[in-house]
Copies of this chain bind each other. A is one copy, B any other.
Amino acid sequence: MAEKNENVIFVGSKPPMNYVLAVITQFHNGAKEVEIKARGRAISRAVDVAEIVKNKFMPDIKAENIQLGTEEIQTEQGNKLNVSTITIKLKK
């Protein structure tokens, strides 16, 4: 189950609590591992989500295997732009 894409939460521009609840729901549904992914400015929020899950709701969770990366995206003007990405693997 831990390998499936269902256990990935993409963090965007909504309030952190939305994503926190999504992560907790995944764990309550039996996931042993949940991946939090974000890019660009949402990276800070992804770290907030991981920290809130760990500190306020599930102290037994561990953030391990944090991966950084770069993706090339196309702007509306047709230019190419590099954006940083983060993947935080939370494990029960």
Contact = CB atoms under 8 A, between A and B. Distances in A.
Instruction: Specify how many copies of this chain sit in the oligomer.
Output: 2
Contacts of A40: 44
Interface string A26-62: 0000000000000011111001101100010000000
A interface, size bucket = 10 to 19
Nearest to A70: B51
A17 interface: no
Contacts of A63: 68
A68 B68 contact: no
Given A66-B68, A68-B88, 13 more contacts: A41-B41, A42-B44, A43-B43, A43-B44, A43-B47, A44-B84, A47-B68, A47-B84, A47-B86, A51-B68, A51-B70, A51-B82, A66-B66
